[in-house]
Structure 1
Amino acid sequence: MRSERRTVATEVEGPIELHWLEHGDPAASQVVVCVHGLTRNAHDFDRIAAAMARRGARVLAVDVPGRGGSAWFRDPDHYAVPVYAPILRTWLQELGLDEVAWLGTSMGGLIGMVVAAGPDSPIGRLVLNDVGAFVPKEALSPIGAYLGLDLRFADLEAVERHLRTIHAGFGRHLDDGFWRELARRSSRPAGDGPGWRMHYDPAIRLPFQRQEAADIDLRELWAAIRCPTLLVRGAESPLLPAAIAQEMTRTGPRAELVTFMDCGHAPSLAEPEQIEQVADWLCGPETGNGLISVV
């Protein structure tokens, strides 16, 4: 795993620095881009990225602006999907990547939908992890309860307890090592004294708070997507209702649907079954020599 940075031009804030984690062979012909959820960061994909790298892919897991190692926006109103999408599109262009597969969790999936529906999209295969063409407003309220809180924690154990609570939907059978690593990767030293803070700009909450609660209806966007798409759903997810997921198998790109039990929003993609199914769909099955099967 390599840590990379690049200054990318944006229309809204001028040049900003993007950070991403790169796995696998830099010369690999297949490139998979991983984009995280609202308060998360690139390390969410560490386990599945390693699995895809073993299958022969080059994997780029990016920190969306305001999270992880990427720059914070000067204007908090720019923390929005319509701003992120062209920035990440420009980033891919500057890296010379004309075709990629895209794995997006929640917000990362919404960004992927915008890019995939656009003209001359570079996305050849798309995985949406627990987000779809319609998000009911009732599912957004719990997110607002923790989004962007500028909390201070005494130690990493306190961070872990917090994450186990707010991200219980990641799954009921995740090992303790997952949660310890999540705590370490999701926090940073407070900087102005002892303790730890979450690894994002607290201002990411402001656009969310300023909006009146409303359903998010992206069916028109969904209808414009043409690339093969895999829709991943947590069986207990409030964000992607079962009826919406089924509708998405019949409309737009007619997604393939896989539902994982014992999790809600969103499947962690860190459990063996989840890793295998998603990585196989994107990259093909792993063989004993670490290469993908061509059968």
Structure 2
Amino acid sequence: MTQHRIKTVQCLSPAGLHRMAYKEWGDPANSRVLVCVHGVTRVSDDFDNMASALSDQYRVVCPDVVGRGRSDWLRDPQHYQVPQYVSDMVTLLARLDAETVHWFGTSMGGLIGMGLASMKDSPVKKLVLNDVGPALNPSALARIGDYVGKDVRFTTFDEAARYIKDISLPFGPHSDDEWRKLAADVLKQDKDGKWILHYDPGLAVPLRATTPELLQRAEAMLWMAYDAIACPTLLVRGAESDLLKPEVAQAMTSRGPKPKLVDIPGVGHAPTFFHADQIAHVRNFLLG
């Protein structure tokens, strides 16, 4: 696998400064930049296979969104929301000196990409949305919200890895080694040697504060943002996804950027892009 570099950039929230870590693959002087952003409880390491495969063409940059992985935790968990994440990405792009970028976003990473791509003079010139859209199924949000912020601790890595596999089964079929990697990337040991999750339990604070009214308002704002996107867009959907309903994906194809829709069979929320057949969809769209 191609070598990567781990770097950090200092970002600002209303509560102060924080460091955001990112993995960078490929030639650091390459002006063609692909930014890949993970889902709510995942990390930059999710993109190792895809970043390695595309680093011959791109400088691939995979951040750990604040509160996760190698990045700092926010002093005020109320700021674990898309506007803060978009702001952090603008800072990252300035650090990369990237005037134009291509963007791949899984779930939350797609919402961040939508927010950035919808802005006037946006640097995002091509956008891949992986199993996400402006309207998200509330029962799937509740399913995800149920395990975010749970203080789970395990005595052995194998026990912890089984837990990660159980909550990640919608990712679809993976080999034992791939499940191990998916677990290892999001587990760490605490000072007592217990295996815990890599992210700030405070991520759950804004999720728990969400009411049906707030969700409705957020959805209306997301559709407005989506309709403002003008760059070429690819929409990927896990064919069995409970988060992005088929009717929402269909509606997305006829408004806003009118993306091409690709369904990944046998997968729910969300395709991992570990495998060559999935990576090929991205390569063909971005470079074809």
1:167 aligns with 2:168: yes
Q: Which runs of 4+ in 1 moved over 6 A?
A: none
Q: Secondary structure at the match of 2:174?
A: coil
Distance 1:262 1:282, change over 3 A: same
**1:242 paired to 2:246:** yes
Aligned AA (1:263)? V
Superposed CA offset, 1:232-268 (max 9, x none): 0000111111111111111001101100000100011
Alignment partner, residue 209 of structure 1: 208
Deviation at 1:86, TM superposition (A): 1.1
For 1:48-127, what aligned pairs fall within 5 Å after superposition? 48-54=50-56, 56-127=57-128
Q: Is the 8 A contact 2:22 2:44 kept in 1?
A: yes
Distance in 2, matches of 1:59 and 1:7, equals 16
1:24 CA displacement: 1.2
Alpha-carbon deviations, 1:181-204, whole Å to 9, x = none?
11111111112x022111111111
Amino acid at match of 1:255: P
Question: 2:27 matched to which residue of 1?
Answer: 25
For residues 48-106 of structure 1, the C-alpha deviation after alignment (integer angstroms, 9 at most, x for no partner) is: 1111113x211000000000001100001010111111111122113211111010000
Question: Could you tell me how far apart the structure 1 residues matched to 2:117 and 2:187 are?
Answer: 31
CA distance in 2, matches of 1:94, 1:58: 13
The letter for the 1-side match of 2:209 is R
What number of residue pairs does the alignment pair up?
281
Distance 2:9 2:243 in 1: 33
Tell me what 1:184 maps to: 184
Distance 1:5 1:58 in 2: 14
Would you say 1:232 and 2:274 are equivalent positions? no
SS of residue paired to 1:280:
helix
TM-score, normalization: structure 1?
0.91
In structure 2, the partner of 1:269 is 273
Instruction: Flag structure 1 segments of 5+ consecutive residues without an equivalent.
Output: 285-295
Corresponding residue for 2:194? 195
Task: Decide whether aligned partners of structure 1 residues 159 and 279 sit closer, same or farther in structure 2, where only a CA change above 3 A counts.
Answer: farther
Q: Distance in 2 between matches of 1:108 and 1:243?
A: 21
Corresponding residue for residue 34 of structure 1 = 36
Give secondary structure in 2 for the equivalent of 1:259: strand
* TM-score in terms of structure 2 length: 0.94
Task: Give the deviation of 1:11 after TM superposition.
Answer: 4.2
CA distance in structure 1 between the partners assigned to 2:49 and 2:95 by the alignment:
27
Asked if structure 2 preserves the Cα contact closer than 8 Å seen for 1:48 and 1:279, the reply is: no
> Does the 8 Å CA contact 2:188/2:198 hold for their aligned counterparts?
yes
Residues 148-179 of structure 1, C-alpha deviations (whole Å, 9 max, x = no match): 222111222112211111111111x2111111
SS for the counterpart of 2:55 is helix
Q: Is the contact between residue 33 and residue 61 of structure 1 (CA under 8 Å) also seen in structure 2?
A: yes
Q: 2:282 aligns to what?
A: 278
1:223 corresponding residue in structure 2: 227
2:279 counterpart SS class: helix
TM-fit CA distance, 1:224 = 0.3
Give the aligned CA root-mean-square deviation in angstroms.
Answer: 1.4
